[in-house]
Amino acid sequence: MTFAAIVLTLYPEMFPGPLGHSLAGRALAEGLWSLETLQIRDFATDKHRSVDDTPAGGGAGMVMRADVLSRAVDDVLTRRPDVPLLAMTPRGVPLTQPRVRALAAGPGVSILCGRFEGIDERLFEGRPIEQVSIGDYVLSGGEMAALTLLDACIRLVPGVMGAASSGTEESFESGLLEYPQYTRPNDWEGRTIPEVLRSGDHARIGAWRQSRAETDTRLRRPDLWERHGGARVGEPSGAR
């Protein structure tokens, strides 16, 4: 099954962009995922093809119009009702690895990219649109956020990474950051790879990796650690 990526944007030329290269680029060429872009301006009805207007209540910038966007959104929802529709916005629910994994296992994703000051809120009131944020910072447009979301999904689409790597051991998959990685040379600037990783003892290696994943998560991401339950190695989840 091909994973369908459908992007509604004022800048279709930004796609596939970086997703035309490396892993995602090869997968696109092999037909493991497909890309369709819709120019939002094509759904405008006036001769200037306007998609935005001044904010109600005053203030800086422009707001994307619900009447124009709804026509674009309805076109996608009618043709692909099976594909979840996401709108990129800093006001959305933060994107997580479990959500990415669920999307990657499905038929695809449609993504509405905002610009200017954002999107008329009424668009979200009567349609199944999931508002998603990629982090607590503000981008100038939803296209980079859409590329980020797509990259995260595509690498998990069956067949893209190959059988050897399912991505299940990576950061966030178990609720923790991944353990640190090392490779040759063994001695670099006087720093050596931890002895345990060169021991060949897979039980010790596994225990060391689990311990480092827990320690690094606790120190670097107390929010994740708290959600994980804060269990130490060998303790049941939730124990203190």
Binding residue numbers for S-adenosyl-L-methionine: 114, 134-139
Number of residues interacting with ligand SAM: please give it, by CB under 6 A.
20
Q: What are phi and psi of 44, to 5 degrees?
A: -80, 155
Q: Are strands 33-39 and 3-9 parallel, antiparallel or unpaired?
A: parallel
* Residue 132 or 154 with smaller CB distance to ligand SAM: 132
Binding residue numbers: 114, 134-139
Q: Contacts with ligand SAM in 130-169 (CB under 6 A)?
A: 133-135, 137-142, 145
* Residue 137 or 185 with smaller CB distance to ligand SAM: 137
Q: Contacts with ligand SAM in 41-100 (CB under 6 A)?
A: 88-91
* Alpha helices, H only, the chain: 22-29, 66-79, 97-104, 142-154, 202-220, 222-228
Closest by CA to 18, choosing from 118, 142, 128, 148, is 148
CB of 202 to ligand SAM, least distance (A): 40
Q: Contacts with ligand SAM in 105-124 (CB under 6 A)?
A: 113-115, 117-119
How far, in Å, CA of 91 to CA of 44, rounded?
25
Residue 65 makes CB contacts below 8 A (sequence gap 6+) with 50, 51, 52, 53, 120
Residue 12 sits in the site that holds ligand SAM (CB under 6 A):
no
Applying CB under 6 A, which residues contact ligand SAM? 88-91, 113-115, 117-119, 133-135, 137-142, 145
